[in-house]
C-alpha cells in the first residue's frame, strides 16, 4: 500500500541536512525530511546546573517548538508553559544526545539544543 506522498511503506523520506544554517549559533543545521523542515541550533553557556557544579562535566539539554504556521492551521504558541507532548519531546532529544555524548569532554558548560519546527508534515520528533 503506497502512502499519500507516493512512497512505499518501507521507503524513507528524502533527507537533506544543511550545516551552519544560523549565522550566530555555535552550531546549527536545517534538517529537511520530506516536507518536514526543522532548524536545530546549539548555544553554549559557561555554567552547569547546580547538581553538576565542581564535577568536571557538562550538561546537554533541549528545547522543542513548533512555529505557529508550521502546520495547516495556526497552532498557538505555548506561552503558559510547555504542554506534555512538547515536554516529552524535549526530554527525548536531551536524553538521546546525552546518551551518545561524553559529558566530560564538554567541560563545565551547558549545551542548549533548540529545535524549531518551521514546516510540519510528520516525523517532527525524528527530524528534531
pLDDT of residue 87: 92
More confident residue, 80 or 107: 107
16 burial (CB, 10 Å; 0-12 / 13-18 / 19+) is exposed
Confidence class for position 111, pLDDT limits 50, 70, 90: very high
Structural domain boundaries, residue 106: 15-75+82-127
pLDDT of residue 26: 97
Query: Is 101 part of a structural domain of the chain?
Result: yes
| Count of domains for the chain | 1
Query: Is 3 part of a structural domain of the chain?
Result: no
Q: Give the count of beta carbons closer than 10 Å to the beta carbon of residue 48.
A: 20
Query: Is 53 part of a structural domain of the chain?
Result: yes
Name the least confident of 36-40, 95-99, 122-126. 122-126
Record the pTM.
Answer: 0.87
Query: Is 7 part of a structural domain of the chain?
Result: no
Query: Is 5 part of a structural domain of the chain?
Result: no
Query: Is 120 part of a structural domain of the chain?
Result: yes
Q: Which tens digit of pLDDT belongs to each residue from 26-82? A: 999 999 999 999 999 999 999 999 999 999 999 999 999 999 999 899 988 877 777
Query: Is 116 part of a structural domain of the chain?
Result: yes
Query: Is 123 part of a structural domain of the chain?
Result: yes
Residue 22: which CATH number? 3.30.230.70
Instruction: Please give the grid coordinates belonging to residue 39.
Output: 532548524
Amino acid at each position: 500500500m503506497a502512502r499519500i506522498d507516493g512512497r512505499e511503506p518501507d521507503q524513507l523520506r528524502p533527507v537533506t541536512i544543511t550545516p551552519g544554517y544560523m549565522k550566530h549559533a555555535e552550531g546549527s543545521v536545517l534538517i529537511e525530511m520530506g516536507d518536514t523542515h526543522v532548524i536545530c541550533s546549539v548555544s553554549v553557556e559557561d555554567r552547569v546546573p547546580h547538581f553538576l557544579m565542581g564535577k568536571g562535566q557538562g550538561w546537554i539539554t533541549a528545547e522543542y517548538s513548533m512555529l505557529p504556521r508550521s502546520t495547516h492551521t495556526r497552532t498557538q504558541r505555548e506561552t503558559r508553559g510547555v504542554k506534555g507532548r512538547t515536554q516529552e519531546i524535549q526530554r527525548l532529544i536531551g536524553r538521546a544526545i546525552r546518551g551518545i555524548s561524553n559529558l566530560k569532554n564538554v567541560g563545565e558548560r551547558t549545551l542548549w539544543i533548540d529545535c524549531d519546527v518551521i514546516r510540519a508534515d510528520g516525523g517532527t520528533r525524528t527530524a528534531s
